[in-house]
Chain A
Amino acid sequence: MHRETRAANYVLASFTIVSLTLLSFPLAGPVRAFEAFAGYVLDPVAYYGAQGVTRFGGIPGRLRDLISADIENHRMEDQVKGFQWIKQEAESLRIENARLRAELGLKAPRSKRDVLWASVMERDPMRWYRDIRVQAGSNSGVTLNSPVLGRLGGHLVVLGRITEVRPKTSVVLLVSDELSSVAAYVACASSGTAAGQPPRGVEGLLQGEGGARLRLNYLSPDAEVRLGDLVYTSPTSTTFPPNILLGEVSRIFPRDPFLTSRSVEVRPALEASRVKEVMILKQSAATAAKLEATARAAMGEGGEEDSEGAEARP
């Protein structure tokens, strides 16, 4: 017989005997000891294999995230380049606007304001449509009458104004409060706006009613207002920046022949109960002091209040 064949037969016989022994005495002591020993030797394969699978299993996901982040980064860099141009354009427009205002003798617009984001920390169920308390106070630079805006999608929406300031908290008087009023205008669909210009329409005074709806009063009786028309803050507003969304016309009251104006009901663009974070536009100290003095003087003299409700709460 060939030498290699003979050796193969011996090996086969040996392994067969070992295998049959293992098969025949699965519970015998030596077999169990062998099993335990072999398991001890081979266990690391499974253990480190599982560790490796766990460690390397997340690589595709992380790689995908990394690639998408890189793509997004490039896209945002391009956007930033575009924004630089827009910023430059806005700056030149601002300069031109100031020059034209000066030539026409118009009041200069309010200087640039700092922005402060604050979390809503408290809502009183008894005063649901009246005010909310936010987690920012005088320590953060919040002053009385600072406008408070909310975010709806990608747009800013008016929520109210600061009426009480403490070191770490402030109270926001909502536009839906009965004591709140904002100079506003309805961007009538029929008014026809020039391209690139903010919509202009019929001016009025938006007042809260202590409920879910607002009322826009003192509109011209000839105004062509339709349901769904949007309401924005007026450029004549002393507190709020112009052209910030307030809501939309939800009801048109019939004309009263005995009144010289008409009113519409407005649904607020953003319910204050859904807001978790607000944006406070900080005012310069001089402006804040001036506004506060005006409000105090108006109240002290008991005379006419400002067109916009800025009085203290009763």
Chain B
Amino acid sequence: MRRYARLVILVAAAMLAQWWWSSHGMLGGVAPQLLLVLTIIVAARHGAIKAMVIGFFWGLFIDLMSARLVGANALALTLVAYGTGLARRQVDLLGIEPQCAIVFALTPLYFLFWGLLGLLFSGSFLWVGWRSFLFDPFYNCLVAALAFLLWDPWVEGKPR
């Protein structure tokens, strides 16, 4: 019960944090993809299914907040969760380095996939801009490292 309560709080807090960060906490016009990072972390720690469920709803939240293609982020985060879940079987993703590495690798893929969905369904490539494309992987890496440090004591409720 307590575990599910923590999960609900995590989902809501992450949505709030993502909204705040992208609307108030930008650094040089760049905001990290917090929900992408958290989806990857959930997938790395708890497997693909849980991450896909959470990622899908987080994606829908981003879609509804951005008022562009509804379903694009939901699909992208679902696939990210699925991919990370598959990778989890081959590679140990529980350390800080592999988590940062997979976040770094998946961030540009996530942007490109989102853009391609735009090209397919709205007729124009949804380009996030060079600044976000180049700097967000690094920014997300930093956020992933921070999330890694805070995950156990705050989310799992156990000391590191």
Contacts and interface: CB of A to CB of B under 8 A. Distances in A.
Contacts of A95: none
B72 A15 contact: no
Contacts of B61: 42, 45
Interface of B: 12, 15-16, 19-20, 24, 47-49, 52-53, 56, 59-61, 63-65, 69-72, 74-75, 78-79, 82, 85, 117, 120-121
A285 interface: no
Q: Which of A8, A15, A45 has the most CB of B within 10 A?
A: A15
Contacts of B79: 12, 16
7 contacts: A15-B75, A16-B78, A19-B71, A21-B71, A22-B74, A23-B71, A23-B121
A45 to B, nearest CB: 5
Nearest to A31: B70
Given A8-B82, A23-B117, A45 B74 contact: no
A46 interface: yes
Contacts of B59: 19
A113 B58 CA distance: 75
A255 B70 CA distance: 96
Q: Which of B63, B75, B85 has the most CB of A within 10 A?
A: B75
**Interface residues of B, dominant DSSP:** helix
Interface string A1-37: 0001001100110011011111110100001000100
Contact of A23 (B16, B53, B75, B78): B75
Interface string A137-163: 000000000000000000000000000
Interface string A34-67: 0100110010011001000100000000000000
B69 A23 contact: yes
Given A11-B52, A45-B15, A23 B72 contact: yes
Interface of A: 4, 7-8, 11-12, 15-16, 18-24, 26, 31, 35, 38-39, 42, 45-46, 49, 53
Nearest to B76: A19
B71 to A, nearest CB: 3
B56 A4 contact: no
Contact of B49 (A4, A18, A26, A39): A4
A46 B85 CA distance: 31
B79 to A, nearest CB: 8
B65 A46 contact: yes
A12 B78 contact: yes
A4 B59 CA distance: 23
A8 B12 contact: no
A26 B47 contact: no
Contacts of A21: 71
B53 A11 contact: yes
B70 A12 contact: no
For the complex of A and B, the 6 pairs showing the least CB-CB separation, nearest first, are A22-B71, A19-B75, A19-B71, A23-B71, A8-B48, A15-B78
Given A12-B82, A42-B61, A23 B52 contact: no
Contact of A49 (B20, B69, B75): B20
Contacts of A39: 64
Given A18-B74, A19-B56, 4 more contacts: A21-B71, A23-B71, A35-B64, A42-B61
